Copies of this chain bind each other. A is one copy, B any other.
Amino acid sequence: MRPRVLALSLALCATAAQADEGMWMPSQLPDIARQLRAAGFKGDPAGLAELTRAPMNAVVKVGGATGSFVSGDGLVLTNHHVAFGVIQYNAKPERDLIRDGYVAADRAAELPANPDFRVLVTTGFDKVTDRILKDARGKRGRAYFDAVDGATKTLVAECEREAGYRCSVANMYYGSDFYLIRQLELRDIRLVYAPPDSIGNYGGEIDNFVWPRHSGDFTLLRAYVGKDGKPADYSPDNVPYQPPGHLQIAVEPVREGDYAMLAGYPGTTYRHRMASEFVQQIQWQLPSRVALYGDMIKTIDAAAAGSPEAQVSYAAQVKGFKNTLKRAQGELDGLRRSDAARVRGEDEKAMLAWLDKQPDARAIRADIDAAQKVLDAGAATRERDQLLTAIRTQPQLLNAALTVQRLAHERGKPDAQRETGYQQRDETLIVGRLKQVQRRYAPQVEKALLLELLLQYKALPKSQRVDEYERVFAGEDRAALQRTLDALYAGTGFGEEAVRLRAMQDDAAKLAGSGDSLLKAAAALLPAVLRMDEEGKAREGELLRLRPAYMRALIAYRKSQGRAVYPDANSTLRVSFGAVSSMDPRDGVRYRPLTTVQGIVEKHTGADPFDAPQALRDAIAKGDFGSTADPELKTQPVDFLTNLDTTGGNSGSPVLDANGRLIGLNFDSNWEAVSASWMFDPRYKRAIHVDMRYLRWLLAKVYPAPHLLKEMQLPAE
């Protein structure tokens, strides 16, 4: 008993020391080498900064998420949910890969992914701030925005001249720095190993965001290239890609307090937003989103109550609304629990007080104050803007008419200058959306939804009204608006798919002659939509110009405290470090950091999503865990918890131990951490990973793939 407890004691001590936030650019890691070592990292921090050296050269972008090379022959490890499209693409009625999983017996049996599936290997990451900002300097607002946008497009086009590469420009510290990112684009990806959905997605929606968790959310893919070693479309003649480096899966156990680090492509965070933006998010944005989506759900439910067809038509939209509402509520609860507005406010106040004492404070302070004014101007019409956005995007038919009018408008420009989403390459997508309307629309529900939104709009102060909307949606009370909407929807043929698709082909002149009431309404609204778009871009440009002052102040202030600042997440490669960690979600309850196969049995009901496959249950009952069992728990571990800093996009991120060996595969966060996109609260922020010992056990004993274990240089059992 004694040794176990002593191990635990070290674990507890370590946890307390290591809990820290940060989504660091690899290039920053040498600067925080001391912290890395203090947390337990045993490698060379400088080595982590090199994108072309292991381990960073093994971390790749897969879909909108992350993956990593785990063999010298291009084997890629990512989440089951990240590769789900690939599995689905290969599933057939007689070969249900979703239900049964898949083990390719050899390379010939590896199944090609959908042709648009990509694995991106980052090969370049260079600061290009001067080139991006050269033309922008001295400009303001929309002009500043356009200058940055233009320079970005030029750099990307230049970079992509070499075939097989995709390039992009990343904006760090809100416009302070820009980096040109160059990625090798692997286009022939194949499915190698997937567990059944009832393992990969065990617990489904019910367990989403939940700890304790028991999912085997992983899949193995393989990247192929042409015989010349260069990216190529699928061909049976292609050969496995030889990555410059790959990760070695660990065989050592994972214990509470162990050092852990994670690399991946987190999407978006708002940690360095200004204090007033925190207040707005907590006091207005999230509560008003909860209220608006709650109202829309209630309205649709009531309007569809009598009609099973209407209920089916709106099921997906309502489900989406419920998700949005749930997330907003979770984020709000979390930010309140962390007292985020006060914490961020006090921090900013201290920063500004410090700044005012610095020699070069005045110009910086002026920019910060100007940025605040831009934010205030946007906030003045925030309620109206949220409502008008809902009015033009949520009612399906009205949105279709607006899309058709906007497309005709954009077609009047050269393709390169068209608004994103309305370029030639987007037209197939638009056709799809216009077709889909058929399955997602019922006239009485759309009118009820529009009526509810318009009533809220009409309740705003008169000064906030928008002329075009006033003309199209005449009437101040329910009865008058109802008459307006009845007339609008009685005079349109847009309920017919053929009518919508035909209208999409028409040019602006022809559309102008149309007698369709909804098309006419959309034409009348379009100038307002374009004008508000323009205003938004001008604000965006101003903030791009002004925010760097705020970031400069923050970075200098943190430096005075001896601390580094990571840029907010923006889908570029980042590293976070911390420890395997328990969590106390509420008084009297502790979440333990490892789950075991016993939990699969406890949760099993036989019904989806708790329908563990017979083969898995038999193997658990047999208890033959071999080298993959946990030496302390004396059973097979499944998932584990760390305090690593993650957000959406980190799905599939490899979790490494102190020696850089792969111990886990990130796939989710706990519900209490939903608010971490704004504030990292070490008490509640945790990340959920598949324990690599579970993967090894499944490959060794449950759905055997001895050839893959061998390829990954892992023990056979």
Contact = CB atoms under 8 A, between A and B. Distances in A.
B589 A589 contact: yes
Interface in A8-30: 8-9, 12-13, 16
A3 B1 CA distance: 17
What are the 9 closest A-B residue pairs judged by CB atoms, nearest first?
Answer: A212-B588, A587-B599, A5-B9, A588-B595, A590-B590, A587-B598, A588-B592, A1-B13, A587-B595
A591 B589 CA distance: 5
A213 B5 CA distance: 27
A106 interface: no
Nearest to A590: B590
Contact of A602 (B5, B211, B586, B595): B586
29 contacts: A1-B9, A1-B12, A1-B16, A2-B9, A5-B5, A5-B12, A6-B9, A8-B8, A8-B9, A9-B9, A212-B589, A213-B588, A214-B587, A584-B592, A586-B599, A587-B595, A587-B596, A587-B598, A587-B599, A587-B602, A588-B591, A588-B592, A588-B594, A588-B595, A588-B596, A588-B599, A589-B592, A590-B591, A590-B592
Q: Which of A584, A589, A592 has the most CB of B within 10 A?
A: A589
Interface of A: 1-2, 5-6, 8-9, 12-13, 16, 211-214, 584, 586-592, 594-596, 598-599, 602
B211 A588 contact: yes
A594 B589 CA distance: 10
A586 B13 contact: no
A390 B33 CA distance: 75
Nearest to A635: B587
Contacts of A16: 1
Given A1-B12, A588-B596, 14 more contacts: A1-B9, A5-B8, A5-B13, A6-B9, A212-B586, A212-B588, A214-B587, A586-B602, A587-B595, A587-B598, A588-B594, A589-B592, A590-B590, A590-B592
Nearest to A212: B588
Contacts of A1: 9, 12-13, 16
Contacts of A12: 1, 5
Contacts of A5: 5, 8-9, 12-13
Q: Which of A8, A9, A596 has the most CB of B within 10 A?
A: A9
Contacts of A212: 586-589
A8 B4 CA distance: 12
Contacts of A211: 588
Contacts of A8: 5, 8-9
A304 to B, nearest CB: 24
A599 B587 CA distance: 5
Contacts of A594: 588
Contacts of A2: 9, 13
Contacts of A595: 587-588
A211 B584 CA distance: 14
A587 B6 CA distance: 22
Contacts of A588: 211-213, 591-592, 594-596, 599
Contacts of A596: 587-588
A599 B598 CA distance: 29
Nearest to A12: B5
Nearest to A596: B587
A516 to B, nearest CB: 48
A9 B211 CA distance: 25
Contacts of A6: 9
A495 B2 CA distance: 72
A596 B214 CA distance: 30
Q: Which of A2, A5, A588 has the most CB of B within 10 A?
A: A588
A596 B586 CA distance: 10
Nearest to A582: B590
A499 B121 CA distance: 90
A592 B12 CA distance: 15
Contacts of A591: 588-590
A602 B584 CA distance: 13
A361 to B, nearest CB: 38
A152 B293 CA distance: 71
A598 B9 CA distance: 25
Contacts of A592: 584, 588-590
